[in-house]
Each structure stands twice: as C-alpha cells, then as structure tokens.
Amino acid sequence: MRSPRLRLTAGLLLAPLLTGCFSASGGDSSSDSSGAGDGARLRVALAFPPAENYSPYGQDAIDLSRLGVVEGLTRLDANGTAVPALATSWSSEQGGRSWLFTLRDARFQDGTEVTAEAVAVALTRAAGAEPAPAALSGVRLTAAAVGADRVRVATTVADPVLPLRLSNPGLAVFSPTAYGKNGKVNPVGTATGPFELTRITGDTAAALDRFDDYWGGRAQASGIDAKYVSDGTARANALRTGDVDIAEAIPVAQVAALDKGTAHEVNTARNTSLYLNTRKGVFKDAGLRTAAREAIDTTAVVKGVYEGYAEPAQGLFGQALTWAAGRRTVPAGRAAATDAEGRSITVATYSDRPELPETAQVLQQQLEQAGFTVRLEVRTYARLEGDLLAGKFDATVASRNMMLDTGDPVTVLAGDYTCDGSYNLSFLCDKGVDALVAAAGTKSDPAERQDAAMKAEAAILRTDAVIPLVHLKVVTGIGRSVKGAVLDPYEREFVGTGTRR
C-alpha cells in the first residue's frame, strides 16, 4: 500500500460552497426513516419528462435522483459538502491524483451485493459514455477494485473535488445486470436507492416501489406514482384538486391560487439566462452579442414575469451563493456594439417552465427594439434538447442550477463554457476562458477556488456568450397531508425516506 500524502475524511473535503440549508415540510428527508408500517403511496407531478429513456448519463439522471432511485459514492449535504452515501469514508493519494473509497454494506435492488468490482464497473461505464456526464467535463477518470470493499478512483491530473464530483446523479452506481452490450443502462430494479423503479410508461409516467433492503432504512411511503406534466398550470391544478401530493416547479402566476400553506419556496443556485450561439450565425459576431446584451433590461423580466420570485442577475452565481457577491469584478474588454440592422435570429426555449416562454417574449420585444428580427421557437424540453445541443438556434432562453452537477462552481464552468464542455449551450470556445477555468480547477483551498471561479466568470461574461437574466427562487407545491417533503437548493432531492402522507 502506498501511504497517502494527503488525507481528507468525509465531510471535511471542502468548506461549504453554498450557504443555507435543506428545508422540509414537516421534517427532513431522513427523519423517522425506520419505515415502520406501510405508508400510502406518494403521487408526484414532475415538470420534465425523460428525454433519453432514463439514461443516467444525461439530464434524466436528475429525475432518477429526485425520485430516490439512484445514488453514488457520495452525496451533497445542505452546505455543499461531500458526505457519505455508498462510500463511508475516503482518502486522497498521490497528491490528489487518486482517491481510495471504502464502501458500506449495501445491496442493489436486484438483491445482489454492492461490491468494489461492481462500483468500479459502474464508474468505468460512466467515464466512457458519449457524451460524458456533465460532472466529468474535462476529467479523465478510471476506477479499480481494491479488495472486496474499497475502490480506487484516479484522474490524470490532481482533482481536489473528486468526492464532490462523485455525488452527481450521472455517476450513480448500478448493478452489473443494468449494463447492456449496446452501451445503454437499464435503471429498472438495478440501482441502490430507497425506491425501486418498477414500471415506465413512455415519457408520461413511472411507478416505483419501496426498496425494503435499502441500507439507510425502509422509506415511510410504500411507493411513488410519478406523472410528467409539462404544463405548469396543469401541475398546479393537480395539486389543488388533490390528484397529486407534491408538484414540482409551480409557476409564479399560479402560487396565489394554491391553498394556504401548500406553496413552499426556496432560494436556489438557479439562473435564467440567454445563451448566444457563438459558433455560427448572427452571434458569432462579438459586436452583435454586445448589442443584444445592451438591449436587455432584466428588471422588466423580474417584474413582468417572475413577480417577486427572482432578482436581476448580477452574474452566473446567484443569491443562494453568498460568497459570490464580494468576489465579483466587472468584466473588462468587451467588444463594441454592432448595429443589428434587422438581422434575423431564432430564440428557442422550452415550455416545461412556463416563465421561460414569457421571458422569451419580453426579450423578443427588447431585441426587436434594438433592430433584430426575432422568431421564437417553443417546445417541451424533451423535444428541444437534441436541436439545442446541436446548435440549431441563434439563442436559447434556459434555466440552469449552477450547483446541480457537483456543488462546485468550477465544475459547472468547465461543463458549460469551455471548448470541451458537455453542456455548452453557447458553444463558447475561448482559450483565455479555458485557461482560467483550468487554473481554478487546481485550487484545493475553498476560498482560493471561489476566487479563481469568479475570475473565470468575469472572462466568460466578457465574451457575452451568455447574458444572465435573473436569479431564481423555486416554488414546490406540497399537499397539507404530506410530511417530510424535501426542499433542496440543489434540486437533486424531491422525496426522501421520511416523506409520507
């Protein structure tokens, strides 16, 4: 055994990167989770249908996490620190180029044991996925079993936030039976979470049963019946009429119509932004990107669309990240604005979050006043994603939780704004930005890492590849009979072992 040069125990990896705490309706997700008795099934309405047949390597992994199906070696606590999940502890080796994880005694939902070899296979599969999970943007990862209950995870260069990275739902661990020869992963009955996915009805519904052998104790609800309802008004109506117990992402226009005590808001790290396609089309011209930014009045979006459930964006990192404001600098060296001269652009967005089409309409008016000719393209996210990632639009109005991927600000910058980023909606490829993001990625001290992330933020904003619009609060509808529903600023959890009615 090589003796580690640096050891960091679980929970002491990094100081908190996000302030605030989880809140819950009637308790937290782990309260009274012994599961005594069979609680009623939970009925939930989610906003975003699966776009990739529940592939764990894309955005569908978030649904699997919210429904309590999947988990990885670590998870994020309320303060953004990596804490134990399938791993009970870990230590850094070789100056951070590898980490040794010790596994807990746990079982897969197919009844087999969670072994080091199974975990290594799962992480190796994720590392080889195309495209790679967002948490692995710019990272080359290998995993190998060390005996029966330890796994060594290595990267080509030192990665001080690897335990944070491994909390991402896209790096969840599945039984070996989940992996087919075609590279696809079948999550039905093969994960490790408290709820087992048992039936999928296309992209409209899913059924889950409680997994009684869950290492963390039996969940109080006997199962979950999930419906995917893209229309926000329909989600609010389903909660109001008692057809569902919990409804995700209630539109701000519907909050006043809900019963008293059923609308619960939480500050998040979520932004709504306008992403400009820098690879081709009108906004390849930096001067036209400047013209677009100068045309936009974000206060009109806050007042006209979000009705107090947002504030004008100051940058990429919002009000839930209190460390960001004091470190922000004004971007320097932006291009001079170019006259739009009637240039035609297509702005795309999705209807699953009803505020986004409304925001797009406000931007359409402002951009047209600046001389652009604007056409809007509105679809559900599932029908938009392929064209979005293929760069078929000039601009996109999208909502993004900046801490969703890892809880680490640098990782999201690498995934969203570097040449090799896997969710780069602006198709930005700037050597200066890449260099600053790479430099930030080498920092292990939390304060230094945050400082470096803000320098990279300023370089990104200088390009005007993205125009931050608003920082958001998210409203979840929770029936009055429900206890223990999770309000997560990271938006990874929706129900927990203590959620019941």
205 CB-side CA count, 13 A: 9
Task: Mark whether 296 and 191 lie in a shared domain.
Answer: no
pLDDT of 13 higher than 50: no
What tokens does 390 get?
């293929």
Task: Mark whether 132 and 206 lie in a shared domain.
Answer: yes
Task: Mark whether 215 and 315 lie in a shared domain.
Answer: no
Q: What is the pLDDT of residue 318?
A: 80
pLDDT of 191 higher than 60: yes
Per-residue DSSP letter, 130? S
Domain with residue 210: its CATH number is: 3.40.190.10
Quote the number of domains for the chain: 2
At 406, the pLDDT band (50, 70, 90 cuts) reads confident
Give alpha helix (H) positions in 266-404: 286-295, 298-301, 322-325, 355-369, 381-389
pLDDT, mean of residues 21-44: 55
pLDDT, mean of residues 404-430: 90
Region of poorest pLDDT, from 6-15, 76-85, 247-256: 6-15
More confident residue, 270 or 192: 192
Task: Mark whether 196 and 340 lie in a shared domain.
Answer: no
Q: Is the peptide bond before 131 cis (omega within 30 degrees of 0)?
A: yes
Do β-strands 344-350 and 395-401 pair in parallel, antiparallel, or remain unpaired?
parallel
Task: Mark whether 185 and 297 lie in a shared domain.
Answer: no
Task: Mark whether 318 and 274 lie in a shared domain.
Answer: yes
Interacting residues of 8 by C-beta distance below 8 A, sequence separation 6+:
90, 91, 92, 163
12 in any annotated domain: no
Region of poorest pLDDT, from 36-50, 78-92, 365-379, 425-439: 36-50
Task: Mark whether 409 and 348 lie in a shared domain.
Answer: yes
pLDDT, averaged across the chain? 89
Task: Mark whether 371 and 278 lie in a shared domain.
Answer: yes
pLDDT of 22 higher than 70: no
Q: What is the pLDDT of residue 182?
A: 78
Domain with residue 383: its CATH number is: 3.10.105.10
Task: Mark whether 449 and 422 lie in a shared domain.
Answer: yes
pLDDT of 205 higher than 70: yes
240 in any annotated domain: no
At 15, the pLDDT band (50, 70, 90 cuts) reads very low
| Tens digit of each residue's pLDDT (9 = 90 or more) over 380-393 | 998 999 999 999 99
460 in any annotated domain: yes
Q: What is the pLDDT of residue 95?
A: 85
Task: Mark whether 102 and 161 lie in a shared domain.
Answer: yes
156 in any annotated domain: yes
| Selection from 26, 234, 218 nearest residue 107 by Cα | 218
Q: What percent of the chain has pLDDT over 90?
A: 69
Q: What is the pLDDT of residue 28?
A: 40
Task: Mark whether 343 and 282 lie in a shared domain.
Answer: yes
Its domain, for residue 170, covers 23-222+479-487
Q: What is the pLDDT of residue 136?
A: 86
499 in any annotated domain: no
At 45, the pLDDT band (50, 70, 90 cuts) reads very high
Q: What is the pLDDT of residue 4?
A: 34
| Tens digit of each residue's pLDDT (9 = 90 or more) over 336-356 | 999 999 999 999 999 988 899
155 in any annotated domain: yes
| Selection from 420, 448, 421, 418 nearest residue 433 by Cα | 418
Q: What is the pLDDT of residue 59?
A: 84
Q: What is the pLDDT of residue 109?
A: 98
Region of poorest pLDDT, from 49-53, 112-116, 246-250, 259-263: 49-53
Region of poorest pLDDT, from 32-46, 141-155, 288-302, 356-370: 32-46
Task: Mark whether 466 and 483 lie in a shared domain.
Answer: no
pLDDT of 403 higher than 70: yes
| Tens digit of each residue's pLDDT (9 = 90 or more) over 438-497 | 999 888 888 899 999 999 999 999 999 999 999 988 899 999 999 999 988 888 889 999
239 in any annotated domain: no
pLDDT of 412 higher than 50: yes
| Tens digit of each residue's pLDDT (9 = 90 or more) over 110-144 | 999 999 999 999 999 999 998 788 888 778 999 99
298 in any annotated domain: yes
pLDDT of 97 higher than 80: yes
Rounded Cα–Cα distance for residues 427 and 409 (Å): 19
